[in-house]
């Protein structure tokens, strides 16, 4: 006689939105409880005060709120750039490199043309060059994938390291003063190539630009013909070919878009806020953006929430390590536990766990 297993896991056909969010909220609460227990056991601190410090470190002052919004904007920009590629099942891990190349293009224009042309024209050239640099860096692995079916995961990952070395080379070429090993603030005296301030803040323009791009990407992916085609390619390439979709064209076109938006992120960093160029300028947002996009199910609007969550945890973790003189690893542990629960709850959104009901066997 076949025995019924104690635990049966089956894929859910669908789950209503409020149940999905209820599962996520329960996961966050459980994560906070576990983090609180770990905090008390390992440090002796009151977890309520620790969580209050995280909130204060993120929202405590006007400047902190602006920094939060700026960090969300840059992370969101890279996340929406990666979304169409991942929706197409093209595993683009090159967001860091593509954003760095966009930053390199913007910095090059600022340094080489900063005192030669009007500021409006200079910014326009920066925009074009940054978008072109990001798109070119993304289209190289796309062409190889489309024509020779190379592994895009490794290809885009390796392109990150090439981009880092290119930036490192030009940092030495443009270093100020010579021998300093860094560029410093570009055009600090003239502000040539610096984006204009909106509402008295250097962050607001970046936030507005990313908000517009997010809405545009949502419309593009959900309602446009191109968005439909990349979804079909992601579901099944043979099916896409059968219905007449040119798969190679879709792959290259989508990666051009992805790289271009990553280039915009680099532009916003150089022209909008940081006004410098370093190998660590992007700070790993290309990899964090993968998690942001995946948690949001590649929906650009939901990515606003997931970007906020990630940035809040990062900034909050940094605050508690500073406020309580804890090791940086402690903040990383708290962040990791919360993210583990959030990511783990996705299993229960996609699968249903059933237990065997007890019953008497009939002879």
Residue 3: what pLDDT?
A: 67
What is the percent of the chain where pLDDT is above 70?
A: 97
Q: How far apart are CA 259 and CA 82, in angstroms?
A: 8
Band of pLDDT at residue 2, cut at 50, 70 and 90: low
CA nearest neighbour of 186 among 195, 176, 173, 198: 176
> DSSP code of 351?
E
Band of the pLDDT at 34, cuts 50, 70, 90? Answer: very high
CA distance 265 to 102: 7
Report pLDDT for 49.
92
Contacts of 250 (CB under 8 A, 6+ apart): 88, 226, 229, 230, 233, 240
CA distance 106 to 339: 34
Note the pLDDT tens digit of each residue in 165-198. Answer: 999 999 999 998 888 888 999 999 999 999 999 9
Report how far residue 296's alpha carbon sits from residue 307's, in angstroms, rounded to the nearest whole number: 9
The helices-and-strands tally (H runs, E runs) of the chain is 13, 2
Whether this model's pTM surpasses 0.75? yes
Q: What is the mean pLDDT of residues 63-84?
A: 97
* pLDDT of residue 231 exceeding 90: yes
For the chain, domains (ranges, CATH) are 46-323 (1.10.3470)
User: Would you call the peptide bond into 177 cis, given omega within 30 degrees of 0 as the criterion?
Assistant: yes
Residues in the chain: 363
pLDDT of residue 14: 75
């Amino acid at each position: 006689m076949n025995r019924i297993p104690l635990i049966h896991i089956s894929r859910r056909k669908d789950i209503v939105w409020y149940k999905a969010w209820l599962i996520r909220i329960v996961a966050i609460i459980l994560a906070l409880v576990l983090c609180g227990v770990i905090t008390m056991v390992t440090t002796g601190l009151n977890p309520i005060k620790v969580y209050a410090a995280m909130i204060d470190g993120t929202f405590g002052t006007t400047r902190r709120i602006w920094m939060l919004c700026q960090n969300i904007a840059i992370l969101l920009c890279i996340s929406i750039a990666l979304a169409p590629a991942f929706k197409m099942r093209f595993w683009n891990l090159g967001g860091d490199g593509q954003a760095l190349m966009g930053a390199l293009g913007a910095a090059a224009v600022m340094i080489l043309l900063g005192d030669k042309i009007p500021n409006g024209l200079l910014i326009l050239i920066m925009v074009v060059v940054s978008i072109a640099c990001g798109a070119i860096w993304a289209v190289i692995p796309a062409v190889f994938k489309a024509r020779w079916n190379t592994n895009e995961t490794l290809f885009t990952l390796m392109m990150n390291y090439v981009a880092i070395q290119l930036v490192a080379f030009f940092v030495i070429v443009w270093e100020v003063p010579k021998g300093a090993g860094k560029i410093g603030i570009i055009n600090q005296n003239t502000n040539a190539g610096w984006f204009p301030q909106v509402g008295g803040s250097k962050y607001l323009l970046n936030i507005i630009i990313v908000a517009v791009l997010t809405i545009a990407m949502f419309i593009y992916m959900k309602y446009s013909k191109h968005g439909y085609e990349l979804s079909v390619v992601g579901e099944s390439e043979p099916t896409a070919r059968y219905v007449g979709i040119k798969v190679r064209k879709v792959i290259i076109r989508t990666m051009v878009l992805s790289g271009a938006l990553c280039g915009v992120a680099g532009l916003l960093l150089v022209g909008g806020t940081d006004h410098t160029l370093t190998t660590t300028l992007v700070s790993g947002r290309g990899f964090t953006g993968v998690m942001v996009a995946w948690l949001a199910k590649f929906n650009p609007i939901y990515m606003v929430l997931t970007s906020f969550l990630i940035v809040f945890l990062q900034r909050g973790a940094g605050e508690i390590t500073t406020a309580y003189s804890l090791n940086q690893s402690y903040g990383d542990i708290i962040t990791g536990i919360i993210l583990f629960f959030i990511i783990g709850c996705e299993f229960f959104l996609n699968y249903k766990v059933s237990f065997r009901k007890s019953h008497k066997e009939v002879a």
